[in-house]
Amino acid sequence: MRTFYYITLTVFVMSGSLVSGKTTKSSPALKSVEQIAAEVKPSVVKILQAGRAGLDGLGTGFVVSKDGLIATNLHVIGEARRLEVEMSDGTRHEVIEISATDSHWDLALLRVASAELKPLILADSDEVKQGQSVVAMGNPEGLGFSIVDGVVSEFPDIVNEVPMIRLAMPIERGNSGGPLLDRQGRVLGLLTMKSAVTANLGFAMPVNELKRLIEKPNPVPMARWLTIGVLNPQLWQPSLGARWTQHSGIIQSSTMGSGFGGRTLCLSGAALPEETYEVAVNVRLEDESGAAGLVFSAQDDDHYYGFYPSNGKLRFTRFEGPDVYSWTVLSEFASEAYRSSQWNHLRVRVEPGKITAWVNAQRVLVHEDTALRGGRVGLCRFRAPMAEYRGFRLGADLAEKPVPEALAGTIEKALDQFSASRGAREPTLDTLLDDPSASRRVLTDRRRELERQSAALKDLEKDLHRRSITRDLLTELAKPEDNIDLMRAALLLARHDNPEVDVPQYLQQFTRMVDELKSYPEIAKGTASAVKRLNRYLFDEGGYHGSRHDYESKANSYVSELLDDREGLPITLSVLYLELAARLNVPQVYGVPLPGRFMVGYKDGPEGELVLLDVFNKAKKLTVEQAAMELTERGELDKEYLEPATKRSIILRMLRNLLSSTMDQETAVKETLPYLDLVVAVEPESSVERLTRAQMNQRLGDKAAARADVQWIIEHFPESGPDELRAQLDQWMQALRQD
């Protein structure tokens, strides 16, 4: 049995005018590898994909038509991501359309907005002969536009029921989607797979399958293809161009807007609460030469107020037209409240007769102006530098309430050990000047101590946040099973790792989904009908899908990022599915904790047959027998795997996914301990996690914490447990008690 893996780094551009691919009666003369490299290189492209960690170089492709058609493998482009292609001269083009895809043949056609590309000629792959000399170009291991020659080892060779061209040539990660060429420089196929057994064996998809795809396109515009980072249209409506995306609760605006001065807007879909209201956001500029902040009283794209930092100052402007001649700068000023290059909290209060603004809780503006009222609120940006926004709020009163004096005193007292007395500056300097050299040494020691205290305070702040989330999560899971809010519990897991996750905002987004689904008559017709509607809503209309390119990313374990990007793991997709079904009162739908892949199960009636939905694969239906054959070696599933998963067990499974993602990292100890703490808090009887935590705390030098876990394991050691292991635990405890 052969073992193969897909290559993920190559794409190419092809000629739509030559899709027939038949060779002429007088075949062109053979060319040297050097000649082919020079002629083909301008038509080969590198494909860049915007994933959760930014742009990645993923593959190779080639031009197939002058007007911007590019061919590659489907596995190169992934799902739902923004794509760019880079030519050999460094020119980049953004992909504007997925012109065609075929999952069976692993092929994709992309389109860029260009009419000046050089297409490659497509040969007839049915004419491929064993032993034929061939050439390939791609980006192996990121080495852009590299060329290699070899021979056809066999054709056709059936791999996974697909006839392919087997090649005797070195193929590396990064060649996927690249052109396989004959010695006349014509395309015979697309490099697709390499063997995991030997370095000099690979496979290419015959180019005639690509021709069939060119002849029958199924175009999808990028606006429909994209889900990664796309703003929820129910919450936000970008306008005036530019790119607005969202990730982990942070909205990002990049590229120039189409309005005058690079102006671009993103208006909130929320209705104003009252005649008097407040709007607030945290904003950070990539560069102080830019401008970005709040808009309010927006009548349309050209009429609104804006309050935002610009060139290091704060600006309050009334916009009453499309260009600078119809704008009025009502106030522009510098303020010590503004923190350059950092996050700044902007808040504006709109009243019938005046507008008041704050920066970082300091009032900086009171202006009487009644020209514009009502309308909408949102975000704005000007010029080229990127900007980020988080914590957008709209309400009657958004002022941060002061900490009660008694509570503040208690907190300050608890923090005294981390504080440093500063004293009056001038008297201190007079004393230090008696011996500047010695004073510098003492100051250096003090500074280092303060840095240590600062680091300790940061750790204390993290611990406080995590303990708070742990308490909230335990409170939620302590409720009766039917009353546990699984969506909130899953969002708390995401907030445990990222304090910026706004749980109420995501719950509001989820509630909107529930309200939208309530309006569909299929939901009330019974389980089978409701399941069909849920499947269409999530996977066909909503674009939710399993993560393949970034499967190992921790982001897939966060329900917040699932809602942002519509991409996740089987269990996060299942949580969304199950909670929608529960809120819609769809009966007999529950989580099925299968080994290796969590699924959703349902029965059409109490006595109905159990049907499994593989939500990672767009709710593909499976019988229990089919799932057993797919997920187990012996083709059988123990009954425990088919019992409905409790909400607590779902949270623990999500937690253990996060835990496993850190175990192989160099920073495993510090990354892993918070998850171990949370697992033990949720499931105190988890001896495996206690044992691991004891080992890690010992490595960190925290013997007291390690002793506590070892002592617990000893006290709960089963009577029938092996004596040798009991003795090892006793020896370990003795070692931990030694100073």
Domain count, the chain: 5
Look at residue 20 in the predicted model and tell me its pLDDT: 39
**Distance separating alpha carbons of residues 508 and 721, to the nearest angstrom:** 50
Answer whether residue 230 is part of any domain.
no
Transcribe 291-344 into DSSP letters: EEEEEEEESSSSEEEEEEEETTEEEEEEEESSSGGGEEEEEEE--TT--TTS-E
Answer whether residue 227 is part of any domain.
no
- φ, ψ at 575 (rounded to 5°): -60, -45
Boundary-marking domain end, from 607, 622, 647: 647
CB of 671 within 8 A of CB of 665?
Answer: yes
Same domain, 429 and 456: yes
Look at residue 415 in the predicted model and tell me its pLDDT: 52
Residue range of the domain that includes 42: 4-222
CATH at 354 = 2.60.120.560
Same domain, 115 and 82: yes
Residue type, 153: S
CATH at 705 = 1.25.40.10
**CB-count burial class (<10 Å; 0-12, 13-18, 19+) for 411:** exposed
Look at residue 303 in the predicted model and tell me its pLDDT: 96
Same domain, 555 and 671: no
Answer whether residue 229 is part of any domain.
no
Helix (H, G, I), strand (E, B) or coil at 694: helix
**Distance separating alpha carbons of residues 309 and 285, to the nearest angstrom:** 9
Which residue is associated with the tokens 């709020």? 393
Same domain, 444 and 485: no
Answer whether residue 231 is part of any domain.
no
CATH at 57 = 2.40.10.120
- For the chain, which residues score pLDDT lower than 50? 1-25, 195-197, 417-425
Q: Which residues of 374-400 are buried (b: 16+ CB within 10 A; e: fewer)?
A: ebbbbbbbbbebbbbbbebbbeeebee
Distances (CA, A) of 424 to 324, 446, 451: 50, 16, 21
> 392: which 2 tokens?
């957008």
β-strand pairing of 4-6 with 11-13: unpaired
Which residue is associated with the tokens 């779902």? 650
Boundary-marking domain end, from 395, 427, 457: 395
Which residue is associated with the tokens 């290559």? 7
| Contact residues for 477 (Cβ-Cβ < 8 A; gap 6+) | 484, 489, 647, 648, 651, 682
Is the pTM higher than 0.75? The answer reads no
**Distance separating alpha carbons of residues 557 and 560, to the nearest angstrom:** 9
Distances (CA, A) of 137 to 146, 180, 430, 565: 6, 7, 72, 33
| Contact residues for 561 (Cβ-Cβ < 8 A; gap 6+) | 52, 247, 248, 494, 555, 567, 568
Same domain, 102 and 14: yes
Residue type, 274: E
Answer whether residue 713 is part of any domain.
yes
| Contact residues for 132 (Cβ-Cβ < 8 A; gap 6+) | 151, 152, 182
Same domain, 256 and 349: yes
Same domain, 109 and 211: yes
Peptide bond into 156 cis (omega under 30): yes
Residue length of the chain: 739
Answer whether residue 533 is part of any domain.
yes
Identify the bridge partners of residue 250 per DSSP, sorted by sequence position.
Answer: 247
Same domain, 289 and 375: yes
Same domain, 120 and 179: yes
In this structure, the dihedral spanned by the alpha carbons of residues 128, 129, 130 and 133, taken in order and rounded to 10 degrees, is -80
Identify the bridge partners of residue 84 per DSSP, sorted by sequence position.
Answer: 48, 94
CATH at 556 = 3.10.620
Half-sphere exposure of 509 (CA within 13 A, CB side): 25
Answer whether residue 415 is part of any domain.
yes
**Distance separating alpha carbons of residues 384 and 285, to the nearest angstrom:** 11
**Distance separating alpha carbons of residues 502 and 524, to the nearest angstrom:** 32
Answer whether residue 438 is part of any domain.
yes
Closest by CA position to 240, among listed 257, 252, 256, 222: 257
**Distance separating alpha carbons of residues 50 and 230, to the nearest angstrom:** 12
Same domain, 553 and 630: yes
Identify the bridge partners of residue 349 per DSSP, sorted by sequence position.
Answer: 278, 356
Q: Which residues of 19-38 are buried (b: 16+ CB within 10 A; e: fewer)?
A: bebeeeeeeeeebeeeebbe
Same domain, 81 and 117: yes
β-strand pairing of 187-195 with 4-6: antiparallel
pLDDT tens for each residue of 611-664: 999 999 989 999 999 999 989 888 889 999 999 999 999 999 999 999 988 876
- φ, ψ at 77 (rounded to 5°): -90, -10
Boundary-marking domain end, from 619, 647, 675: 647
- What is the helix (H) or strand (E) element at residue 698, kind and residue range? helix 687-699
Look at residue 18 in the predicted model and tell me its pLDDT: 41
CB of 89 within 8 A of CB of 132?
Answer: no
Same domain, 637 and 682: no
